[in-house]
Structure 1
Amino acid sequence: MSHPQQPYGYPPANPRPCGTAAPYSPAPAVYTAVFRKQTGMLIVAQTTPVQTTGTYPEIRSAFWKAQTHCLVFGWWGVLSLLIYNWISLIQNMSELSRIKHAARANGEI
């Protein structure tokens, strides 16, 4: 008995030999981090938490956006200059450090 031919231009129904698996490509790990954006005003201060979910490079990008916001807009008030902005900067660095340890444990960096 002969096997029917595949139509021209179409791949065979089973391109891999029996018993072989498809090549494994692990998906990058997804992390969740919460960074703080501090905005100082003359008398009051505003802290905005920003939650980011993504790969390590995406988390790192969100960290730098939050840090840049704090460094540009976080100093424009007395309490922000003395207390709040420093707390936000340190907490953001701590959060990135936590994500970096997790990425190292996953072998990403």
Structure 2
Amino acid sequence: MHTSKSDNNNINDDNNNKNKNKNNNNNNDDDDDVNNNNMNQNHDSRSGSRAGAVNTLRNLVEVTRRHRQQLIQLQERHNQELEEQRRRHRQEWQDLERRLRRRRHGQERRHGQ
């Protein structure tokens, strides 16, 4: 079966979206587990269980640590994308300057003769 380039692009877009949704669901699953633990431990801490309160704090610390790591990864990826964009723009700018110099140089030669 032959697929057009646009069909392939649509298939790739669909696959990318599915992967993004999977990643988002995985992250949400982690939060759900922690929320369920917190509900159980909040009940323990309300009933005066010091151990329940300590476990709740430990879980909050762990969630905060994971979220911080995720933020750091997002920042690193964003910085890499910005650097790549700057590099592309710099290259485009240099190409345009080079073309403009050639055009001006050619016009100067014609007018000088």
TM-score range, shorter chain: 0.3 to 0.5
Q: What TM-score does the superposition give when structure 2 sets the normalisation length?
A: 0.40
Q: What TM-score does the superposition give when structure 1 sets the normalisation length?
A: 0.41
- More helix by proportion, 1 or 2? 2
**Higher relative contact order (Cα pairs below 8 Å, separated by 6+ residues):** 1
